[in-house]
Structure 1
Amino acid sequence: MRTSYGRLVRAVLLAFAVIGLPGAPACADGEAKLLAPSGILRVGIYPGSPTSMVSDAAGKPHGLAYDLGGELAKRLGVHVDYVRFQRVADIVTAIHDRQVDFTVTNATPARANDVSFSQPVLAIELGYLVPANSPVGRVEDIDKPGIKIGVTKGSTSERTLPARFKNATIVPAESVKVAIAMFGRGEIDLYATNKPTLFEMSDQMPGARVLDGNWGLEHMAIAIPKGREDALPLLNSFVTDEQSSGALDTIQQQAGLRGAAKATRE
Structure 2
Amino acid sequence: MTVPAEIVSAFTPTGTLRASINLGNPILANIDPTTGSPCGVSVDLANRVARRLGVGIELVVFDAAGKSVQAVTDEQVDIGFFAIDPLRGAGIAFTAPYVLIEGCYLVRDDSPLQSNDEVDRAGRSVVVGKGSAYDLFLTRELEHATILRSPTSQTVVDTFVEQRADVAAGVRQQLEADARRLGGMRLLPARFMVIQQAMGMPKSRGSAAAAYLAAFVEDMKASGSIAAALARHGIEGASVAPSAT
TM alignment of 1:1-266, pairs within 5 A: 24=1, 26-55=2-31, 58=34, 61-202=38-179, 204-206=181-183, 208-228=185-205, 229-264=207-242, 265=244
- The answer as to whether partners of 1:125 and 1:260 remain within 8 angstroms in 2 is yes
Decide which structure has the larger Cα Rg and report it.
1
CA deviations 1:97-137 (Å, max 9, x no partner) are 11011111112222111211122212222221234554433
Report how many aligned residue pairs link the two structures: 242
Paired residue secondary structure (2:98): strand
Q: CA deviation at 1:162?
A: 4.2
Cα displacement string for residues 227-266 of structure 1 (whole angstroms, at most 9, x for unaligned residues): 2221123212211221122210122234443332442439
TM-score normalised per structure 2? 0.84
Q: Distance in 2 between matches of 1:99 and 1:177?
A: 24
Q: Structure 1 unaligned segments of length 5 or more: list them.
A: 1-23
Q: Structure 1 pair 60/227, CA: closer, same or farther in 2 (3 Å)?
A: closer
Task: Measure, in 1, the Cα distance between the counterparts of 2:218 and 2:106.
Answer: 32
Given that residues 124 and 194 in structure 1 are in contact (C-alpha distance below 8 angstroms), is that contact kept between their aligned partners in structure 2?
yes
Q: Which amino acid aligns with 1:137?
A: Q
Q: Which amino acid aligns with 1:243?
A: K
The alignment partner of 1:137 has SS state of coil
TM-aligned CA distance change 1:60 to 1:44, over 3 Å:
closer
Q: Is contact 1:199–1:258 with CA below 8 Å preserved after alignment? A: no
Q: CA–CA distance in 1 between the matches of 2:96 and 2:139? A: 29
Q: Secondary structure at the match of 1:258?
A: coil
AA aligned opposite 1:64: V
Q: What SS class does the counterpart of residue 70 from structure 1 fall into?
A: helix
Q: 1:60 to 1:161 in 2, by over 3 A?
A: same
**2 CA distance for matches of 1:75 and 1:109?**
29
The residue type equivalent to 2:127 in the other structure is G
Unaligned stretches of 5+ in structure 2? none
Q: Which runs of 4+ in 1 moved over 6 A?
A: none
C-alpha distance in 2 between matches for 1:116 and 1:183: 34
- Are residues 244 and 159 of structure 1, via their aligned partners in 2, closer, same or farther at CA, if it must alter by over 3 Å? closer
What SS does the aligned partner of 1:93 have?
helix
2:127 partner SS: strand
- CA 1:253 to 1:62, structure 2 compared with 1: closer, same or farther past 3 Å? farther
Report if aligned partners of 2:62, 2:68 keep a CA contact under 8 Å in 1.
yes
Assess, with a 3 A threshold, how the Cα gap between structure 1 residues 261 and 138 changes in structure 2: closer, same or farther. Answer: same
Q: Do the aligned partners of 1:49 and 1:196 also contact (CA within 8 Å) in 2?
A: no
Given that 1:43 and 1:65 are in contact with CA atoms closer than 8 Å, whether structure 2 keeps it comes out as no
Work out the CA distance in 2 between the residues paired with 1:254 and 1:133.
37
Letter in 2 for 1:176: S
Kindly provide the amino acid, as one letter, of the partner of residue 175 in structure 1: T
Secondary structure, aligned partner of 1:27: coil
SS in 1 for 2:97: strand
Distance 1:129 1:62, change over 3 A: farther
DSSP 3-state at the match of 1:104: strand
In the alignment, is the contact (CA less than 8 A) between 1:92 and 1:114 conserved in 2?
no
